[in-house]
Amino acid sequence: MLILFDRHHVLAFNNYRKLYNHLEKLERCKGKGKWIFARHSPQRVLSFYRYVCDQEISVQSAEKLSSPEAGDVLEMTNGDVTKPIFIPVTPDVDVIALQQRWCQNYCKEHNYALFEISSPVNFKEIGGG
């Protein structure tokens, strides 16, 4: 179980996926969020690549990401949307671990205290949607 303390609330989540859903919702409420963790299909990556080519914008490794044999691609930003990280999803990429690290970095950057507890005796989940 995960316990999140922000300035005004204490929230409990059963797992990182539910914590991520909560953090992503916070970012959406801000409008265009600066913190992104998204998984894109090959079709979406190809559309983005075509858009970039049409705009004559240079994107590093876009050709590799848009190749026909490419699978899903993770897009991550940690507060700076000008420096996104794109990771092709392959069998050796641990998407769950990357998402957990993203959540931990988000909490640290926003001054939230995040604790993992192994015995949730006195806690019940009250967030995470």
Is-contact 62 43, C-beta < 8 A?
no
Is-contact 77 34, C-beta < 8 A?
yes
CB atoms within 10 A of CB 112: 18
Query: What does the alpha-carbon distance between residue 85 and residue 119 come to, in Å, rounded to a whole number?
Result: 35
Question: Which pLDDT belongs to residue 120?
Answer: 56
Question: Which pLDDT belongs to residue 113?
Answer: 94
pLDDT tens digits along 44-87: 877 776 766 665 544 444 555 555 555 788 888 888 777 788 88
Give the long-range contacts of residues 60-67, CB within 8 A, separation 24 or more: 61/86, 64/88, 66/42
Angle at 102 between CA 111 and CA 40, to 5 degrees: 140
- Count of structural domains, the chain: 1
Evaluate whether residue 100 is within a structural domain.
yes
Evaluate whether residue 69 is within a structural domain.
yes
Query: What does the alpha-carbon distance between residue 129 and residue 119 come to, in Å, rounded to a whole number?
Result: 22
Task: With 0.75 as the threshold, say if the pTM is over it.
Answer: no
Q: Which range of residues forms the domain containing residue 28?
A: 2-116
Query: What does the alpha-carbon distance between residue 118 and residue 128 come to, in Å, rounded to a whole number?
Result: 18
Evaluate whether residue 127 is within a structural domain.
no
Q: At residue 129, does pLDDT exceed 90?
A: no
